[in-house]
Amino acid sequence: MNIPELLQLQRNFFNTEKTRDILYLKNSLKSLKKEIINREEDIYKALERDFKKSKFETYLSEIGIVLSELDLAIKNIHKWSKPKRVFPSILNFPSSDYIYSEPYGTVLIIGPWNYPFQLTLAPMIAAITAGNTAIIKPSELTPHTSNLVEDIITKVFQKEHVAIVQGGIPETTELLAQKWDYIFFTGSVPVGKIVAKAAAVHMTPVTLELGGKNPCIIDGTMNLKLTAKRLVWGKFVNAGQTCIAPDYLLVKSEFKNSLIKNLKTEIEKAYTINPETSPDYPRIINKKNLDRLTKMLDNDKIIHGGAYNNNDNFLAPTIMDEPTLDSEVMKDEIFGPILPILTYNTEEDIKNTINNYEKPLAFYVFSNNKKFVKKLMSQYSFGGGVINDTMIHFGNHRLPFGGVGDSGIGAYHGRLGFDTFTHQKAVVKKGNWLDIPMRYAPYKGKLKQLKSMFNWFD
Ligand code: NAD
């Protein structure tokens, strides 16, 4: 079946209103949960084959997140789908006012390779909980996981409800040429712009979950050992191939040497002195990305790691000391296990570095100085951030997850995911037991009364 036919099939299915049947949706979500649990070992194997991801990281960042989004959706679908009554306006008295959450219709979800299970299935769960149909285009760079996602989806859903289209640029280009009711894209900024342009042709709303150069400021007032431990986790989980990983550090000059010492110790503790043999350290996704990363390495600046192996796309956790802002590693998002350490002395230095880049997806600060933290939180624009740790804001479904400016448009997770995939439709039910004559012409002598009514307006 070609892409336009598949899309038409989904449109026809959406028009039957089957996707508005809460019981049907709830059962589908439950079947998906059961299938994921049944295939747990296969999921571990697929991620291991794609880039040597450990079972622990696969559960933490892929399976666990998808299952908790599923549990939340199963528990709340009924409540979320109901029209929400809101306080009416005095101007409309008497009336009852509602917000209806209306599914958009047929949705396209395009996923990246770095968390290939979670970043395709979590948006899909939100999309179908909201009553849409969905076509998912997983990444072509993780064939084992993408095929497994297809297996799972095909087993649980009829293709008129949820379907997978595999492929790379040509297939995605063909998908983007169609008219969708919503597009949800996770990936790089340049491709995000391609998606936004394609969507604009059809006035299709989009969520764009993109990336950026995420700063991490360390002023030395927090314990440096704990700082280093949390940084090493955040930077080297998934071998640094995480959109919200700290990209570079900005440490107060006088604490740099001590921080570096702690970082080296923590890297060795986590991955031993030979990370290539560590069962917990993943590989770079492919040779092209390994080449992209090794071009960033500058031997004069490397103070830890730097080793790589072209045969299995290994790149050691690496620290670079004070690369200049015009060096390769400081140009674009690193998206790999290289940690540049820059220093600052004044708040002006921080500003000069951060403002060199577009608004980041994530922002981190390690500090016990409340005033300093408060200032940073309001001074800089970023998608989401953490004080005294990294990445953990992702783990709370009550927090919106998304970017701002170049790092993205829109947000999701939990209830917000449901909202993302629904149009919030305003409905006012006017009462007939009273009909205040004031608004009707002729208006002579009514202006004063009108003004006083606006004073009641809240
Ligand atoms: P990518 O943009 O290269 O690819 C993403 C998807 O777009 C893939 O499915 C791919 O097949 C498709 N694609 C690639 N080139 C295309 C083109 N020219 N036309 C149409 N489709 C195209 O991104 P990636 O390399 O898979 O992922 C890495 C990027 O994703 C990083 O920048 C990272 O920060 C970002 N990311 C963001 C989030 C987030 O939630 N904000 C999460 C993960 C990754």
Q: Do the beta carbons of residue 322 and residue 343 sit within 8 Å?
A: yes
Given the DSSP bridges, would you call strands 408-409 and 133-137 parallel, antiparallel or unpaired? Answer: unpaired
Assign 356 to helix, strand or coil.
coil
Q: Residue 189 Cα, ligand 1 centroid: separation in angstroms?
A: 8
pLDDT at 47: 98
Structurally, at CATH architecture level, domain 215-402 sits in 3-Layer(aba) Sandwich (3.40)
How many A from CA of 245 to the centre of ligand 1? 16
Q: Which token pair is 185? A: 């894209």
For 327-353, what is the mean pLDDT?
A: 98
What residue owns the CA closest to ligand 1's atom 14?
Answer: 169
pLDDT digits 0-9 by tens, 279-310: 999 999 999 999 999 999 999 999 999 999 99
**Do 333 and 212 contact (CB within 8 A), yes or no?**
yes
Report which protein residue has its CA nearest ligand 1's atom 36. Answer: 187
State residue 457's pLDDT score: 65
Q: Given the CA of residue 173, which atom of ligand 1 is nearest to it?
A: 20
Distance CA 123, CA 416 (A): 11
- Per-residue pLDDT reduced to its tens digit, 95-118: 999 999 999 999 999 999 999 999
The per-residue pLDDT for range 206-264, each reduced to its tens digit, is: 999 999 999 999 999 999 999 999 999 999 999 999 999 999 999 999 999 999 999 99
For a ligand 1 pocket test, name from 184, 243, 399 the mutation site with the most ligand atoms within 8 angstroms of its C-beta: 243
**Cβ(236)–Cβ(337) below 8 Å:** yes
392 pLDDT exceeds 70?
yes
Task: Check residue 253 and report its DSSP letter.
Answer: G
Please identify every residue annotated as catalytic.
209, 243
Question: Could you give the CA distance from residue 215 to residue 360 in angstroms, rounded to a whole number?
Answer: 8
217 within 8 A of 250, measured Cβ to Cβ: yes
Determine the residue type at 420: T
Q: Looking at residues 401-414, what average pLDDT do you find? A: 98
For residues 411-420, average pLDDT = 97
Rounded percentage of the chain residues whose pLDDT exceeds 90: 97
198-218 residue pLDDT tens: 999 999 999 999 999 999 999
Q: What is the mean pLDDT of residues 340-354?
A: 98
Comparing CA positions, the residue from 155, 156, 192, 158 lying closest to residue 172 is: 192
For atom 35 of ligand 1, the residue with the nearest CA is 187
165-179, pLDDT tens digit by residue?
999 999 999 999 999
Nearest alpha carbon, ligand 1 atom 42? 243
Probe target for ligand 1 pocket from 183, 188, 359, with the most ligand atoms within 8 Å of CB: 188
pLDDT value at 39 more than 80: yes
Q: Does pLDDT of 458 surpass 90?
A: no
Q: How far is the CA of 167 from the centre of ligand 1 (A)?
A: 13
- CATH 3.40.309.10 region(s) of the chain? 215-402
Q: Is the omega angle on the peptide bond into residue 323 within 30 degrees of 0, that is, cis?
A: no
pLDDT at 452: 87
> What does pLDDT average to over the chain?
97
Identify the band that residue 454 occupies on the pLDDT scale cut at 50, 70 and 90: confident
Fold of 3-210+407-423: Aldehyde Dehydrogenase; Chain A, domain 1 (3.40.605)
Which mutation among 135, 149, 172, 363 tests ligand 1's pocket best, with the greatest number of atoms within 8 A of CB? 172
Helix axes 22-38, 143-156, angle to 10 degrees: 140
Per-residue confidence (pLDDT) for residue 91, from 0 to 100: 87
Question: Quick check: 280 and 57 in contact, CB under 8 A?
Answer: yes
Ligand 1 binding pocket, CB closer than 6 Å? 110-114, 119, 137, 139-140, 168-169, 172-173, 186-188, 191, 194, 209-211, 243, 333, 335, 361, 403, 408
The answer for residues whose C-beta is within 8 angstroms of residue 368's C-beta and 6 or more apart is: 221, 222, 388
- Residue 232 three-state SS: helix
Tell me if the pTM is above 0.95. yes
Phi, psi (5° rounding) for residue 64? -60, -40
Which residue CA neighbors atom 22 of ligand 1 most closely? Answer: 169
Q: Which residues of the chain are in CATH 3.40.605.10 domains?
A: 3-210+407-423
Q: Given this model, what pLDDT does residue 1 score?
A: 85
Beta-carbon contacts of 49 under 8 Å, excluding residues fewer than 6 positions away, are 144
State how far Cα 46 lies from the chain centre: 22
Q: Which of 190, 186, 178 minimizes the C-alpha distance to 121? A: 186
pLDDT higher than 90, residue 456: no
Residue 417 has pLDDT above 90, yes or no: yes
Contacts 24+ apart (CB under 8 A), 451-458: 453/90, 453/91, 454/91, 456/90, 457/89, 457/90, 457/91, 458/90
Percent of the chain with pLDDT over 70: 100
**Partners of 252 in beta bridges:** 344
